[in-house]
């Protein structure tokens, strides 16, 4: 066994996006694409001797090969110990949990999250820091800078270890502990939620379907919901992680989780439906014939947080990404706690959680979480809902409608234009920026523009700044249109248009969402000339 130093040359384009570096599998398979990036991560971290790292991924195609390579590179770079999930599996929130519990220096997550997998699908890698959360921009930028100057990487030629059985192994001097991917996470969930109450709920005949979408959430949901909580076998469907997610798109929204939505719309629908994404950090909540929007889910959990033992003492504040609806802000106001508006991506919540300013966080993209870890957490959100349903004893729909009656309803939708030409997307955004100043006071479709700007953010804890985080047009009644380009895609560009309208009157709470937002949708198209710029007359995905 020997440690080898292999010369290499910089590869352009290794810049992490909203959540890590994501590319087509074929790109990661090109030697030394992965090696260059991993060495750049290690080089940016400084002295690794005596340090522990956590390693795991969502099990997608190339996960195993990447785990093998990274273990040999970690050993060659002097890492003392690596905790790796059995089979190379760890959900994103589980990595966060394990980093925190064992006080690791950080962790490497192998996932492209909601992006499809398989040989022609996507792969991804990201580094999480010692608080368990995604590396902040300063670190991802340092990693990217390093990828531009790298000239060698270090790797051991030791044989592969067996990652499919728990136990302690060695690669060179480095200890590798193959851990159960679920155990530490499940223990944390038991501390946060009233498992007895949820067990009683299931024992009383409550029926649920959890669609793990053939992704890494399956083992967690099975072990916790069917195992510890006693839900009948078959409650969790598509529960075995597959390298290609069964050919599906592991994004838990009504479009991609159509199987679950159809089931929940049927006459024999169970009481409760839920789904999680590729790396199990996203969640979708569904009632009988009733979908809950992620922004409402955040607001409802915040308003009812005290039902869960982990939040009985109250919550300090709520943080949401800028495009997420303002439903949670109304709850914060009623509770007399602060609300925070951050750029898109979980990395911006880390400082607020660390400083104790926010307890709950959420994004419109089916992401909800809290200070229990530093990632959004799909299974956590589902357990929170189960706890809520057990305490309230009411159907999902009733809980949501009562929430609207009390706080008003924020009609909300996101329109995605996927795979449009990169240049066309850039032109659209640049043109919008030029128009912003002139929009103030303009009247369109019975709305008047209060202000229009390009969202920039100064972190209240560390003062770091982020600019150009989404163009927003805010109307005098609080309705909003937001435009952003996705930072997680691997092909072309994706334009996201976020639409929100507030309605206080309960008599007006049952309009179909797209109809309720029709005037704003028309304004969004005309201001940005979406059809003209993208050549698309309709979005490819509406959530």
Known catalytic residues are 113
Q: Of the ranges 81-89, 234-242, 343-351, 382-390, which one interacts with ligand VG1 (CB under 6 A)?
A: 343-351
Distance, in Å, from the CA atom of 392 to the CA atom of 398, rounded to the nearest integer, reads 10
- Tokens 């195992």 identify what position? 227
The single residue among 14, 40, 113, 533 that binds Co ion, judged by CB under 5 A, is 113
Q: Residue 56: in which H helix or E strand, if any?
A: strand 52-57
Distance, in Å, from the CA atom of 29 to the CA atom of 218, rounded to the nearest integer, reads 27
Q: Is 362 in the site for ligand VG1 (CB under 6 A)?
A: no
Q: Which of helix, strand or coil describes residue 510?
A: coil
Least distance in Å: CB of 396 to ligand VG1?
23
Kindly write out the interface string for residues 218-257 of this chain, putting x where it contacts Co ion by CB under 5 A and - elsewhere: ----------------------------------------
Q: Residue 276: in which H helix or E strand, if any?
A: strand 272-276
In this structure, the dihedral spanned by the alpha carbons of residues 338, 343, 348 and 349, taken in order and rounded to 10 degrees, is 30
Q: Of the ranges 342-350, 394-402, 498-506, 528-536, which one interacts with ligand VG1 (CB under 6 A)?
A: 342-350
Q: Is 487 in the site for ligand VG1 (CB under 6 A)?
A: yes
Q: Residue 409: in which H helix or E strand, if any?
A: strand 409-420
Q: Are 133 and 348 in contact (CB under 8 A)?
A: no
Q: What backbone torsions phi and psi does residue 201 show, to the nearest 5 degrees?
A: -55, -50
Q: Of the ranges 135-143, 269-277, 396-404, 434-442, which one interacts with Co ion (CB under 5 A)?
A: 269-277
The single residue among 488, 533, 534, 543 that binds ligand VG1, judged by CB under 6 A, is 488
Q: Of the ranges 142-150, 276-284, 461-469, 472-480, which one interacts with Co ion (CB under 5 A)?
A: 276-284
Least distance in Å: CB of 324 to ligand VG1?
8
Distance, in Å, from the CA atom of 376 to the CA atom of 217, rounded to the nearest integer, reads 13
The single residue among 256, 342, 365, 368 that binds ligand VG1, judged by CB under 6 A, is 365
Q: If binding means CB under 6 A, how many residues of this protein chain bind ligand VG1? A: 18
In the list ligand VG1, Co ion, none, the entry touching 304 (Cβ below 5 to 8 angstroms by class) is none
Q: Give the residue from 382, 190, 202, 384 showing the smallest Cα distance to 275.
A: 382
Nearer to ligand VG1, 156 or 344 (CB): 344
Q: Is 498 in the site for ligand VG1 (CB under 6 A)?
A: no
Q: Which residue is nearest to ligand VG1 (CB)?
A: 113
CA-based torsion, 66, 72, 74, 80: positive or negative: positive
Distance, in Å, from the CA atom of 476 to the CA atom of 483, rounded to the nearest integer, reads 18
Nearer to ligand VG1, 128 or 533 (CB): 128
The single residue among 114, 288, 326, 415 that binds ligand VG1, judged by CB under 6 A, is 114
In the list ligand VG1, Co ion, none, the entry touching 96 (Cβ below 5 to 8 angstroms by class) is none
Site for Co ion in 50-79 (CB under 5 A): none
Distance, in Å, from the CA atom of 256 to the CA atom of 277, rounded to the nearest integer, reads 10
Kindly write out the interface string for residues 277-306 of this chain, putting x where it contacts ligand VG1 by CB under 6 A and - elsewhere: x---xx------------------------
Q: Residue 503: in which H helix or E strand, if any?
A: strand 493-503
Query: Residue 513 region, left (φ>0) first, then alpha (ψ -120 to 50), else beta?
Result: alpha
Beta bridge partners of 411: 501
In this structure, the dihedral spanned by the alpha carbons of residues 259, 260, 265 and 269, taken in order and rounded to 10 degrees, is 120
Q: For residue 223, give the DSSP letter.
A: I
Least distance in Å: CB of 276 to ligand VG1?
9
Distance, in Å, from the CA atom of 198 to the CA atom of 385, rounded to the nearest integer, reads 10
In the list Co ion, ligand VG1, none, the entry touching 365 (Cβ below 5 to 8 angstroms by class) is ligand VG1
Q: Is 279 in the site for Co ion (CB under 5 A)?
A: yes
Least distance in Å: CB of 281 to ligand VG1?
5
Nearer to ligand VG1, 87 or 294 (CB): 294
Distance, in Å, from the CA atom of 427 to the CA atom of 453, rounded to the nearest integer, reads 17
Distance, in Å, from the CA atom of 79 to the CA atom of 240, rounded to the nearest integer, reads 32
Q: Is 248 in the site for ligand VG1 (CB under 6 A)?
A: no
Nearer to Co ion, 194 or 375 (CB): 375
- List contacts with ligand VG1 (CB under 6 A): 18-19, 113-114, 277, 281-282, 321, 344-346, 363, 365, 367, 486-488, 496
- List contacts with Co ion (CB under 5 A): 113, 277, 279, 281-282
């Amino acid at each position: 066994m020997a440690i080898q130093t292999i010369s290499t040359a910089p590869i352009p384009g290794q810049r992490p996006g909203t959540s890590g570096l994501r590319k087509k599998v074929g790109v990661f398979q090109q030697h030394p694409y992965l090696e260059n990036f991993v060495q750049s991560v290690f080089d940016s971290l400084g002295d690794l001797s005596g340090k522990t790292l956590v390693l795991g991924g969502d099990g997608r195609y190339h996960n195993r090969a990447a785990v093998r390579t990274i273990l040999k590179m970690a050993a060659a770079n002097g890492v003392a110990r690596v905790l790796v999930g059995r089979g190379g599996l760890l959900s994103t929130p589980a990595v966060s949990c394990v980093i925190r519990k064992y006080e690791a220096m950080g962790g490497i997550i192998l996932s492209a999250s909601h992006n499809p997998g398989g040989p022609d699908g996507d792969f991804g890698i990201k580094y999480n820091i010692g608080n368990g959360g995604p590396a902040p921009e300063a670190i991802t930028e340092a990693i990217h800078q390093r990828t531009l100057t790298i000239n060698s990487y270090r790797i051991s030629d030791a044989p592969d270890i067996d990652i499919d059985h728990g136990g302690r192994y060695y690669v060179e001097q480095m200890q590798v502990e193959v851990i159960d991917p679920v155990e530490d996470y499940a223990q944390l969930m038991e501390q946060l939620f009233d498992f007895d109450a949820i067990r009683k709920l299931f024992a009383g005949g409550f029926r649920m379907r959890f669609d793990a979408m053939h992704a890494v959430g399956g083992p967690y949901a099975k072990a916790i919901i069917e195992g510890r909580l006693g839900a009948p076998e078959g409650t969790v469907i598509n529960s075995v992680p597959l390298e290609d997610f069964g050919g599906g798109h592991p994004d838990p929204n009504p479009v991609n989780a159509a199987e679950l939505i159809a089931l929940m719309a049927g006459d024999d629908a169970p009481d409760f439906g839920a789904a999680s994404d590729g790396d199990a950090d996203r969640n979708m909540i569904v009632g009988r014939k009733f979908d809950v929007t992620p922004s409402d889910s955040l607001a409802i959990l915040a308003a009812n947080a005290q039902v869960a033992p982990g939040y009985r003492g109250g919550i300090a504040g709520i943080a949401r990404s800028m495009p997420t609806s303002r439903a949670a802000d109304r709850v914060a106001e009623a509770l007399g706690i602060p609300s925070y508006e951050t750029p898109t991506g979980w990395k911006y919540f880390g400082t607020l959680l660390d400083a104790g300013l926010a307890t709950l966080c959420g994004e419109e993209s089916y992401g909800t979480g809290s200070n229990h870890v530093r990632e959004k957490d799909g299974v956590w959100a589902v357990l929170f809902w189960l706890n809520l349903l057990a305490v309230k004893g009411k159907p999902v729909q009733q809980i949501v409608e009562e929430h609207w009656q009390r706080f008003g309803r924020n009609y909300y939708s996101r329109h995605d234009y996927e795979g449009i030409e990169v240049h066309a997307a850039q032109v659209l955004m640049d043109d919008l920026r030029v128009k912003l100043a002139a929009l103030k006071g303009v009247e369109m479709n019975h709305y008047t523009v209060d202000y229009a700007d390009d969202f920039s953010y100064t972190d209240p804890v560390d003062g770091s700044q982020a600019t150009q985080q989404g163009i927003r047009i805010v109307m005098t009644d609080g309705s909003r249109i937001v435009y952003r380009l996705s930072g997680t895609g691997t092909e072309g560009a994706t334009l996201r248009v976020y639409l929100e309208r507030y309605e206080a009157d309960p008599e007006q709470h049952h309009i179909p969402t797209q109809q309720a937002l029709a005037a704003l949708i028309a304004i969004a198209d005309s201001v940005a000339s979406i059809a003209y710029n993208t050549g698309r007359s309709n979005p490819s995905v509406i959530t």
